[in-house]
Chains A and B, each alone.
Chain A
Amino acid sequence: ETGVTQTPRHLVMGMTNKKSLKCEQHLGHNAMYWYKQSAKKPLELMFVYNFKEQTENNSVPSRFSPECPNSSHLFLHLHTLQPEDSALYLCASSKGQDSNQPQHFGDGTRLSIL
């Protein structure tokens, strides 16, 4: 029912693995976002893409690498993650990057680093 689809829903990986999170939106939006949500903490914005171009990188470590091939798809490539990277990773989209536009979220990927 959600217009923003994330896969996988759950991911368990070792610190030396490489994996990717995928997000797809079917809402015709032009802006897409990656957020991290750790327990008892507010949502932390990681990256923003507007019309496929990265417009914000919120001082995210290089072990997280985003990719936006088009306005409908967003990936987050992961490698050499740390245990503290275990969290819920949420993708969102909005019509534009204008802060007046509400964001629509995917179900999230729950990531556990062993």
Chain B
Amino acid sequence: RKEVEQDPGPFNVPEGATVAFNCTYSNSASQSFFWYRQDCRKEPKLLMSVYSSGNEDGRFTAQLNRASQYISLLIRDSKLSDSATYLCVVGYSSASKIIFGSGTRLSIRP
């Protein structure tokens, strides 16, 4: 089993729709969680950190479910510019190590 798993997609949704995807992690000792976005042929950029209580940044909401070992990203009122690959990142403080998921491709159509 991979340490960090994501549905590769692609998720193809119309503009204005709400879309959500999950990321599961295998190590219960994981302590830090992030979502990055990566546009085609560009570098990953930090989208948001994920906190235990869940957090929201505009149209984006991130949640952490420690019991089931997954994090989620919800995008409301999706825009064409949201089309990208979303990378889940999980960190282990004990090993000063972070693991990137393979990413979920999202495509927003007009």
- Beyond A42-B103, A98-B93, whether A103 also contacts B43 by CB under 8 A is no
Chain B interface residue count, CB cutoff 8 Å, equals: 23
**Interface SS majority for chain A:** loop
* Distance of A106 Cα from B45 Cα, bound (Å): 9
Contacts of B55 in A (CB 8 A): none
Count of A-B residue pairs with CB < 8 Å? 47
Give the total of A residues in contact with B, Cβ under 8 Å: 20
Q: Residues of B at under 8 Å CB distance from A? A: 4, 31-32, 34, 41-46, 49, 87, 91-93, 95-98, 100-103
Given contact pairs A99-B92, A99-B96, A100-B93, A90 touches B44 in the complex (Cβ within 8 A)? yes
The answer to whether A105 touches B43 (Cβ under 8 A) is yes
A100 to B52, CA, bound (A): 13
Q: Is the CB of A99 within 8 A of B102?
A: no
Q: Per-residue CB proximity of A92-105 to B under 8 Å, as 1/0?
A: 00000111101111
